[in-house]
Structure formats: C-alpha cells, structure tokens
Amino acid sequence: MFKGLKPIVYNGQEVWPLVEGGKGVSATNHASAGAWAAAGGIGTVSAVNADSYDAEGKIVPQVYKALTRRERHEELITYAIDGAVEQVKRAYEMSNGKGAININVLWEMGGAQPILHGVLERTRGMVAGVTCGAGMPYKLSEIAASYNVSYLPIVSSGRAFRALWKRAYSKAAEYLSAVVYEDPWLAGGHNGLSNAEDPRAPQDPYPRVKALRETMREGGIADSVPIVMAGGVWYLRDWENWIDNPELGQIAFQYGTRPLLTQESPIPEGWKTKLMEIQEGDVLLHQFSPTGFYSSAVRNPFLRSLEGRSERQIAFSTQEAGDHLFQLDVGVKGKNFWVTRGDLLRAREWFGQGFTDALKTPDNTLVFVTPPEKAEIRKDQADCMGCLSHCAFSSWKDSETNSTGRLADPRSFCIQKTLQDIAHGGDTDQNLMFAGHSAFNFQRDPFYSNGFVPTVKQLVDRILTGD
C-alpha cells in the first residue's frame, strides 16, 4: 500500500480515492467501469452515445434514418439514453456492491440535459454521481439533486469553479461530492484551456489546485470534499507530496489513459496495440475539434491530415484591396477572390499537387483539398445528427433555428463519426485517437513489458503500490 493513501467515504461507503476517467464515445463502458468499482474504486460509465445491445448481445449500430437534422437529433437522444441505461445496469451488476459507479457526460454534447434526465430516471439507486465538463454546466447540480445523485464538476481553474458555485452549485451544496481538476495541458480528450493560457506553456498543477481549494474554502466547502487530480496521473509516487497535504485538503486521483490498456477495456485490439507504440511527444494538443475546445489526441495520419489542411490555407478579399491585388485562378469558380501574390503562387502549387478544390472557412480564408476530401467533408456535414450543442464543422446548433449562423468550417471534422468508428474497430490511422500526454509510459513502464495487458483489478492493485 502506498504511503499515506487511505480510503475515502463516497456514496456512503469506503472506496479507494482512485477514479476511472469517463472517456467519450464507448471508450469506457460497463465492463471497465464495473471492474474498476469491483476493485474498490470509482468506476465511470461514459454516457456519451453509449452502446446498446440486441437480444443476442451484439452492439446495435447507431444508424440514422430520419431526413432532417432535427429528427436525427431526436434519434441520437434516444440512442444515448438507451445505451447509457444499459451500460449503467450492467456496470452496477458487475460491481457486486463494491466501490461506486459514476456516469460522465459532456455539457456541450447535443441533448445533454434530456439525456441526463432520461438516464438518471431509469437508473435510480445505481448511479452514485455525475461527472461533467466540456463547458460550464450550471444546471448540473439542479438535475443531479432532483434524482438524489451527487455531482462532480470538471474544471481547469479555481476561477471556473467560483463562477459555477456562485451562480448555481451553492444552492445544492450537499450534493457536491468532489471537484475534478482536469489539467488542460496533460489530460486526454477535450481540455479547458482559457484564452488567457498559452497551450505551449504548461503550468504546474500544484498552485492551480491549491487555488481551487482556496476558492472552495471561500464557499464554505469542507476539506473532506475531495479535489480529484485528473490529467497526467500515472505513478502515485509522483504525487506523494499531494497526499495528506493540509494546503490541498482531501485529494483523489483520476486515471483516464491507463485503464484503456486493460483486458476489460472496450476499445479494439488495434487501438490497444497503438497505445503500446506511443513515444513522448506523440500526443498533440490541438484546436481542430468542432467543439471549439482544445483537445489532446495521438498525432496519427488523421490528425496530420487536418494539420496539412490548415497549412494549405490563404486569406482572400472579395474585392481588390491592400496587397490583395491578384485574382485567384485555381480551386474556385468565379472571379471575386483576390489574394496576395505569394498566396496566388502557393495556391497554384497546391493545385498542381492535386489539392484542386478550395473551400471557404468562416474566417474569410480558403483551404485547399483533394476532390475525395471535399466529397467526404460535404457528405459528413450533410449527415449531421446534432451530436454537439453547437458544431463548427456542420454549423448545427441546439436551438430553434438549428444553426450557428456561421459558415460550416471545413478545417474541422465530424467528431461523432470518427469516435464511433475508432471505438468499434475502425482504422487507428484514419480516425481521431484521444490519449493523455502520459501515454508514452506504456512503452517505459516495466508493468507493461513483453506486451502485458493487465486486468482492471491487477491495474488497481499496481496503482495502490505507488507504481
């Protein structure tokens, strides 16, 4: 047992202060969450478009039949509720009354509120708490409290928590069971970097978590309410000075990346194999996500193609002005695209390389793509089912008009499509592969030598030693 680490009381029983991070589409499910809880920790079912099963136990493909986006959005909500309910029920059974089962939702996912209501209504007594980030989930406390369930907001600064506390959470303080601090430079998936923070200049998490605790104390929140450190957590021994530290109060630790490589992890074997190959620096903090948030993923060919697309980008003016004196003669129809001489030469070079189609972005720029890329972008935009509350890629918005009012952005991608594909056996080179920035440890940690893949119980036991 690692020095100083003690169980905490959560949902009325003692559990290890170890939380399974609730990753997005089908990357954590009943098998991983149920096993984590059975090992004495807090397992987390992802309630983001979770899988349902047919009578034979096979995964039901999420196929959208409706013709309009609004109707497809309603299909998506039904799939999401049915899937999450099924996953929670199975995880709860697997846990055998040990540990606890949380669910994780993204506040900026399409239909977040009806999905949360639908899942909690049908899983009463099974869900201990709801973790929620990706946005400012003001209504989280009210919804969770209405089902007698605790809530664990995910924040990346004390400032964000203060805003949530003052506006909403102080009214349901007794249901706040923990605050998750997700390090915006180290965590996998979507990150809460603010405009004031430099993505290339990581900050030490200790002062930020200390500031978060001070903010919580200002609100009268007891030190026994844990702060969950998330992002970059691998060896507990690296966090020894955080445990039993009066400056920080009670601390728990969230593991997002490490549980991906377990026998119970639902991700396909190809993804698990790729995790074993990640080198330091292979995970990129990027801004291609249609959510508008920064996010961290493996810099595979999929991500490199998005980088290349944005690099093949030029600004244009609709009239001759300034140094935009040259009419663009490749990639576009019509003559109202005025560019600089240097950009004209670049555009002609890209055209010669096969990037023959220029697509407008919302920022008065053009990106150059191949005809097959253009066809895929247009199809994916047309197939949108509103998986986000607002989507830069398709211009969908969860509102009366169902439009952001901005041009759809071809520099982004359909996140629902790629996450569903990679989670269900799709090509790991041609899909978005989320991972935290510590994933290179799969190569270095002797626990995984000779391709060893542990069970969740073996992983939790290993973590408890400090390694």
Residue with tokens 């004196």: 325
Q: Are 435 and 257 in contact (CB under 8 A)?
A: yes
**For residue 104, how far is the Cα from the chain centroid?**
10
Q: Is 80 exceeded by the pLDDT of residue 172?
A: yes
Q: Is 80 exceeded by the pLDDT of residue 57?
A: yes
Number of domains observed in the structure of the chain: 2
The pLDDT, as a whole number, for residue 337 is: 96
Residue 106 inside a domain? The answer is yes
Residue 85 inside a domain? The answer is yes
Q: Are 239 and 429 in contact (CB under 8 A)?
A: no
What CA–CA distance (Å, rounded) separates 77 from 82?
Answer: 9
The pLDDT, as a whole number, for residue 466 is: 96
Same domain, 314 and 356: yes
Question: Which tokens hold the place of 101?
Answer: 């089962």
Same domain, 417 and 445: no
Residue 118 inside a domain? The answer is yes
The pLDDT, as a whole number, for residue 196 is: 86
The pLDDT, as a whole number, for residue 335 is: 78
Ranges assigned E (strand) in 329-463: 338-339, 357-360, 365-369
Question: Which tokens hold the place of 267?
Answer: 């991700």
Same domain, 232 and 92: yes
What's this model's pTM, rounded to 2 decimal places? 0.94
Which residue range(s) make up the domain with 343? 301-423
Q: Is 80 exceeded by the pLDDT of residue 357?
A: yes
Residue 290 inside a domain? The answer is no
> What is the pLDDT confidence band of residue 136, given thresholds at 50, 70 and 90?
confident
Question: Which tokens hold the place of 63?
Answer: 């196929």
Residue 272 inside a domain? The answer is no
Average pLDDT, integer, range 180-197: 91
Same domain, 18 and 142: yes
Same domain, 200 and 168: yes
Average pLDDT, integer, range 224-245: 97
> What is the pLDDT confidence band of residue 1, given thresholds at 50, 70 and 90?
confident
For 287-338, write each residue's pLDDT tens digit.
999 999 899 999 999 999 999 999 999 999 999 999 999 999 999 998 789 9
Q: Is 90 exceeded by the pLDDT of residue 135?
A: no
Same domain, 142 and 218: yes
Residue 1 inside a domain? The answer is no
SS3 256: coil
Question: Which tokens hold the place of 67?
Answer: 């013709």
Backbone angles phi and psi of 187, in degrees to 5: -75, 150
CATH number where 132 lies:
3.20.20.70
Residue 66 inside a domain? The answer is yes
